[in-house]
């Protein structure tokens, strides 16, 4: 049984609930405003009747004798019940034949004009009271039953109760069509995502014609698939390179141990074997440490601080000067400009160490390495010139590949695994920098790095 919730159903449910509440609130407010509007019209009409009575009837009642108001007047509304009250004991001095059966004493004492009261005989009634002072002092009371208005309001309410569910249903049907158009690309993404496997990362989703959020989602998905494909290709290449690089030292280790175990040997022989094993183990440890440095780089990407670049470089030169001295190589600071900017000191130091260390490894003995650093136009320019074995032009494009080493450097006297420049490449991608090589075989290499500050 599939208990998975459907996104469209959830959206339609909440949208329907919201629209229903909105319709209830809107209709309630509309009904109340409509009712008040009807009552205001009644009040206005009763006021006109009151003014007509005052102009046409009041002069004939000045004798304070009870007068019957004619039934056929030009009233704005009908039917109406009218009475003229004198100030003495609220006595009626003129009225229509039919008048109210409600107590008006309290209403006459207030300053309010319009009232809605209930009568046993007429039901809900609208009453308008107009105070007069001339030619007699008293009040004119004009009333009309509100059953016609109530019938209209009830009819409107019934129509609302019938039409609102139909309107809600139509809105939900329209929303359903719109949601289908929105969700179809997402369904396509889901379908392709389910079909994609590690061995089939060439699938991408065609971009929808509309330039909207769905198009952005498809772009992001396709970009993710491409990054995954590139990452897997890099991983496969990395695994292949690691296997190749590990094979030689492991073969040496295995051969030395097997040879030592074939028969009893002298102590000196075992010592010599153990020294060879130790050398190969150290070689493996250094290789693993350099490979693990790639994972450490990812943790350093977002860490930034104000770095004095010249101080970082001088510290690196100081650390590597002992290694250069042991190789009979002299490190020369050709030019250094003090400068600072927001960056990651570890990543910057990694660049300096790898480039200068490479220059030391591949330089001839009793030669010089020239180092320069300058900041110009918001750019950091770092250069290292060595006097070493150089690089053939056809090999320059491969230098940044992992585990790549030129044929001239593939001997065990020059330690290295071909990871240094690939690390520099990754760091430069993070720091928005670039690297250039200029080299002449057996004369030397110039490495130039430019980083935006």
At 214-261, the pLDDT tens digits run 788 888 888 887 877 776 776 776 666 667 667 777 887 888 888 888
Q: Is residue 208 part of a domain?
A: yes
Please indicate, yes or no, whether residues 218 and 294 belong to a single structural domain of this protein: yes
Let me know whether 326 and 439 are in one domain.
Answer: yes
Residue 351 sits in a domain of what CATH number? Answer: 3.30.565.10
Q: Contact 235/201 with Cβ under 8 angstroms? A: no
* Choice between 295 and 384, residue whose per-residue pLDDT is larger: 384
The single residue listed with the structure tokens 């493996």 is 284
- Residues 276, 351 share a domain: no
In a domain, 261, yes or no: yes
Q: Is the pLDDT of residue 7 over 60?
A: yes
The pTM (predicted TM-score) of the whole model is: 0.48
**CA-based nearest residue to 390, from 438, 423, 450, 422:** 438
Together in a domain, 273 and 368: no
Calpha distance 196→11 (Å, rounded): 28
Considering the domain architecture, whether residues 283 and 229 belong to the same structural domain is answered as yes
To the nearest 10°, the Cα dihedral for 218, 223, 228, 234?
160
Give the residue with greater pLDDT, 137 vs 57. 137
Are residues 64 and 11 part of one domain? Answer: yes
Asked if residue 4 has pLDDT above 70, the reply is no
Which residues have C-beta within 8 Å of that of residue 436, sequence separation ≥ 6?
A: 447, 448, 449, 450
C-alpha dihedral sign at 228, 234, 239, 242: negative
Is residue 173 in a domain? no
Write the pLDDT tens digit of every residue in 130-180: 988 877 788 889 998 888 888 899 999 999 999 999 999 999 999 988 888
186 domain-assigned: no
CA nearest to 447, candidates 365, 403, 388? 388
Please check whether residue 158 lies inside any domain of the structure.
no
Q: How many domains are there within the chain?
A: 3
Beta strands in 259-409 (DSSP E): 305-308, 329-336, 340-343, 367-376, 379-385
CATH of the domain at 208: 1.10.287
- Range 232-239 contact pairs with CB under 8 angstroms and sequence separation of 24 or more: 232/198, 232/201, 237/402, 238/402
Q: Which of 259, 274, 298 is the last residue of a domain?
A: 298
315 compared with 103, residue with greater pLDDT: 315
Helices (H), 124-266: 147-195, 213-261
Could you tell me if 31 and 108 lie in one domain? yes
List, for residues 63-88, the tens digit of each pLDDT value: 556 666 765 555 556 678 888 888 76
**Residues 262, 307 share a domain:** no
Percent of the chain's residues with pLDDT above 70: 81
**Of 83-97, 261-275, 306-320, minimum mean pLDDT range:** 83-97
Both 248 and 312 in a single domain? no
For residue 52, the enclosing domain spans 7-153
pLDDT at 170: 93
Of 298, 316, 348, the residue that ends a domain is 298
Does position 30 have pLDDT exceeding 90, yes or no?
Answer: yes
Distance between CA atoms of residues 120 and 102, nearest Å: 8
Q: Is residue 189 a part of any domain in this protein?
A: no
Report the pLDDT value the prediction gives residue 233, as an integer from 0 to 100. 72
The stretches of 57-146 forming alpha helices (DSSP H) are 105-108
Q: 């959020």: which residue's tokens?
A: 213
Does residue 447 sit in the same domain as residue 340? yes
Residue 433's nearest CA partner among 414, 448, 413, 416 is: 448
CA-CA-CA-CA dihedral for 143, 155, 74, 93, to nearest 10: -10
Distances from the Cα of 204 to the Cα of 4, 73, 108, 309, angstroms: 27, 85, 84, 44
Q: What is the DSSP string of 424-442?
A: HHHHHHHHTEEEEEEEETT
Q: Nearest CA to 228 among 256, 182, 196?
A: 196
């Amino acid at each position: 049984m599939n208990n998975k919730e459907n996104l469209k159903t959830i959206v339609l449910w909440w949208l329907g609930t919201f629209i229903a509440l909105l319709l209830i609130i809107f209709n309630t407010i509309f009904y109340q405003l409509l009712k008040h509007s009807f009552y205001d019209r009644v009040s206005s009409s009763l006021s006109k009747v009151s003014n007509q009575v005052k102009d046409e009837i009041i002069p004939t009642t000045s004798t304070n004798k009870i007068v019957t108001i004619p039934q056929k007047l030009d009233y704005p509304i009908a039917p109406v019940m009218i009475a003229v009250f004198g100030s003495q004991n609220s006595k009626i001095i003129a009225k229509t034949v039919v008048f109210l059966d409600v107590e008006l004493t309290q209403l006459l004492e207030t300053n309010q004009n319009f009232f809605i009261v209930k009568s046993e005989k007429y039901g809900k009634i609208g009453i308008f009271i107009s105070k007069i002072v001339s030619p007699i002092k008293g009040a004119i009371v004009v009333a009309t039953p509100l059953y016609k208005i109530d019938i209209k309001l009830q009819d409107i309410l019934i129509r609302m109760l019938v039409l609102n569910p139909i309107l809600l249903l139509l809105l939900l049907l329209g929303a359903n069509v719109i949601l289908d158009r929105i969700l179809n690309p997402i369904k396509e993404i889901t379908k392709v995502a389910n079909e994609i496997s590690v061995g089939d990362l060439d699938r991408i989703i065609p971009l929808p014609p509309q330039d909207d959020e769905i198009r952005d989602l498809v772009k992001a998905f396709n970009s993710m698939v491409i990054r995954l494909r590139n990452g897997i290709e890099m991983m496969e290449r990395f695994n292949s390179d690691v296997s190749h690089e590990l094979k030689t030292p492991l073969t040496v280790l295995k051969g030395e141990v097997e040879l030592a175990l074939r028969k009893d040997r002298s102590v000196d022989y075992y010592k010599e074997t153990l020294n060879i094993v130790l050398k190969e183990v150290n070689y493996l440890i250094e290789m693993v440490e350099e490979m693990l440095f790639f994972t450490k780089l990812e943790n350093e990407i977002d860490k930034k601080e104000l770095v004095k670049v010249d101080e970082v470089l001088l510290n690196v030169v100081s650390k590597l000067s002992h290694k250069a001295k042991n190789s009979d190589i002299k490190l020369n600071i050709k030019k250094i400009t003090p400068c600072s900017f927001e960056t990651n000191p570890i990543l910057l130091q990694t660049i300096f160490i790898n480039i200068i260390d490479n220059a030391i490894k591949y330089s001839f003995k009793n030669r010089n390495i020239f180092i320069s650093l300058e900041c110009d136009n918001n750019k950091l320019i770092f250069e290292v010139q060595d006097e070493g074995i150089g690089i053939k032009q056809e090999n320059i494009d491969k230098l940044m590949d992992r585990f790549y080493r030129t044929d001239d450097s593939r001997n065990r006297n020059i330690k290295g695994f071909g990871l240094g420049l690939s690390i520099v490449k990754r760091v430069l991608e993070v720091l928005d920098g670039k690297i250039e090589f200029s080299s002449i075989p057996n004369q030397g290499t110039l490495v130039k790095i430019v980083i935006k500050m």
